[in-house]
C-alpha cells in the first residue's frame, strides 16, 4: 500500500492506536461479546467509558470544578443555536473572523439582538481583529478561536469583562487553555479529538439559567448536565473513538506535549512556504494558525495550481486542496498529523519548485 500523508480539514487524521482499538471494539466491546455499534448505552461497560472520557477531558485541560463537560450530537453548527438559546437575554457580541463565526452570529440574530463587535471581513478574514473595546452591557462575547478556511487563530485566552464563549472546534486539545476564563467552550470532535458525530461542551455550571425565555428541553444545557450526556441515546461509537484519542494524547504527555509538536510542525511548514518561490501564505504572519496552514501559488504562478495538486497527490499528499470558497491549498496539521507527514509535504513542495522555478 502506498504511504499517504493526510491533511484533511475534517474529519481529521486520527492516531492509529485509536483506530486499531475501534476496530477491536467493533468486534467485541470490553469482552461483552457485543459490538460497540450494538452496545446499550445503559450498560455498566458504557457507563465506564463515558466516565473515563469525561475524566480525561477534565484531566487533560485542567478543567476546574466550576465547569462540566457534556457530549452531544448535531455538530457545532447546532451549538450556534444552543449558545443563543442558553445565554442571549438582551444583547450579544460576536468577533467575526471567518465563515463559521458569521454563521454563529446569524443564528444568534434569529434569537435576539446580536452584532459583530469587530470583523476581518474587509481583508478576506486573513487576520484577527485587535484593539476593539468590549462593552460591559452585553450578555456574552463569542469568539471562534481557529478559522479552518482562512488559516487564522487566536492563540491566547483573552481577559474579558463579560462572559466569554468560544467555538474551539479546530484547535481544542492542541494547546493549553485556561478554561476558567470561559463560560462555555464547545466544538465538533472531528478536527482533533475524534470522528464526526459528537460535539463537546465545557460549561460553567453557574452561567446557566439566566435567560427568561423558555428553552426547549433538548436545547437546554442543564438537561444534558443533569443526565450526564445521556438524556437521549448518545453517539456511542463517536464517543468511544474520542475516548481512545484522548487516551493517546495522555500517553504522549498530554496537551502540553502535543502543543510543542504542533508548534514545530507549523514552524517548519510556514518556513518552507516563506522560502519557496512558488508559494505564498494567505494569513497575516502574527495570526497564522498552528492547525490550518493556508497558502496559494505565488503571483504569476497561478497556472501551476492544478499541476501542484496532481503532483502532490502522486506523492501521497491527501487533502491539501483549499476550501472550495477560497481555493489554493490548505494543510490541516491536527494533533495526529506527524512531523514526518509535514516533512514529506515540504519535500514535495521543494521538488515541485525545482521543476518549475
Catalytic residues: 100, 167, 191
| CA–CA separation, 237 and 35 (whole Å) | 10
Alpha helices, H only, 63-177:
75-87, 99-109
Which grid coordinates are listed for 150?
482562512
Which grid coordinates are listed for 8?
484533511
| CA–CA separation, 117 and 275 (whole Å) | 36
**3 state DSSP class of 114:** strand
Which grid coordinates are listed for 78?
447546532
- In sequence order, what are the residues at sequence separation of 6 or more whose Cβ sits closer than 8 angstroms to the Cβ of residue 87? 139, 140, 163, 165, 183, 184, 207, 210, 211
In 1-22, which positions are buried (b, 16+ CB within 10 angstroms) versus exposed (e)? Answer: eeeebbbbbbebbbbeebeebb
- In sequence order, what are the residues at sequence separation of 6 or more whose Cβ sits closer than 8 angstroms to the Cβ of residue 321? 309, 329, 330
Residue 79 Cα distances to 108, 166, 184, 271, 314, angstroms = 11, 11, 11, 36, 39
Closest listed residue to residue 152, CA positions, set 328, 258, 323, 292: 292
Which residues on adjacent β-strands are paired with residue 293?
A: 331
Which grid coordinates are listed for 52?
473515563
Q: Supply the DSSP string of 303-323, one letter for each residue.
A: GGHHHHHHHHHHTTEES-BPP
Is the N-terminal amide bond of 11 cis, ω within 30° of 0? yes
Amino acid at each position: 500500500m502506498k504511504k499517504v500523508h493526510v491533511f484533511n480539514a475534517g474529519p481529521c487524521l486520527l492516531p492509529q492506536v485509536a483506530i486499531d482499538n475501534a476496530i477491536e471494539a467493533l468486534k467485541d466491546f470490553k469482552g461483552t461479546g457485543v459490538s460497540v455499534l450494538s452496545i446499550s448505552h445503559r450498560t455498566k461497560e458504557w457507563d465506564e467509558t463515558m466516565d473515563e472520557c469525561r475524566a480525561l477531558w477534565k484531566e487533560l485541560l485542567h478543567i476546574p470544578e466550576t465547569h462540566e463537560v457534556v457530549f452531544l450530537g448535531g455538530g457545532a453548527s447546532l451549538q450556534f443555536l444552543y449558545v443563543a438559546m442558553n445565554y442571549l437575554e438582551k444583547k450579544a457580541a460576536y468577533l467575526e473572523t471567518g465563515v463559521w463565526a458569521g454563521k454563529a452570529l446569524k443564528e444568534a440574530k434569529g434569537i435576539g439582538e446580536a452584532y459583530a463587535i469587530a470583523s476581518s471581513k474587509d481583508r478576506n478574514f486573513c487576520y484577527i481583529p485587535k484593539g476593539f473595546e468590549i462593552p460591559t452591557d452585553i450578555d456574552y462575547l463569542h469568539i471562534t478561536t481557529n478559522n479552518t478556511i482562512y488559516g487564522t487563530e487566536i492563540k491566547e485566552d483573552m481577559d474579558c469583562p463579560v462572559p466569554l464563549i468560544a467555538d474551539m472546534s479546530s484547535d481544542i486539545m492542541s494547546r493549553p487553555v485556561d478554561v476558567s476564563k470561559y463560560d462555555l467552550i464547545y466544538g465538533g470532535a472531528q478536527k482533533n479529538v475524534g470522528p464526526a458525530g459528537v460535539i463537546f461542551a465545557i460549561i460553567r455550571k453557574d452561567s446557566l439559567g439566566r435567560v427568561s425565555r423558555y428553552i426547549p428541553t433538548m436545547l437546554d444545557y442543564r438537561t444534558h448536565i443533569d443526565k450526564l450526556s445521556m438524556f437521549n441515546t448518545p453517539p456511542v461509537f463517536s464517543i468511544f473513538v474520542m475516548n481512545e484519542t484522548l487516551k493517546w494524547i495522555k500517553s504522549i504527555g498530554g496537551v502540553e506535549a502535543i502543543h510543542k509538536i504542533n508548534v514545530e510542525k507549523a514552524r517548519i511548514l510556514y518556513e518552507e512556504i516563506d522560502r519557496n518561490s512558488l508559494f505564498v501564505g494567505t494569513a497575516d504572519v502574527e495570526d497564522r494558525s498552528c492547525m490550518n496552514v493556508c497558502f496559494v501559488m505565488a503571483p504569476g504562478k497561478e497556472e501551476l495550481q492544478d499541476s501542484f495538486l496532481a503532483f502532490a497527490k502522486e506523492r501521497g499528499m491527501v487533502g491539501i486542496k483549499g476550501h472550495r470558497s477560497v481555493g489554493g491549498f490548505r494543510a490541516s496539521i491536527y494533533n495526529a498529523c506527524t512531523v514526518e507527514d509535514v516533512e514529506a509535504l515540504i519535500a514535495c513542495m521543494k521538488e515541485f519548485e525545482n521543476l518549475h522555478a
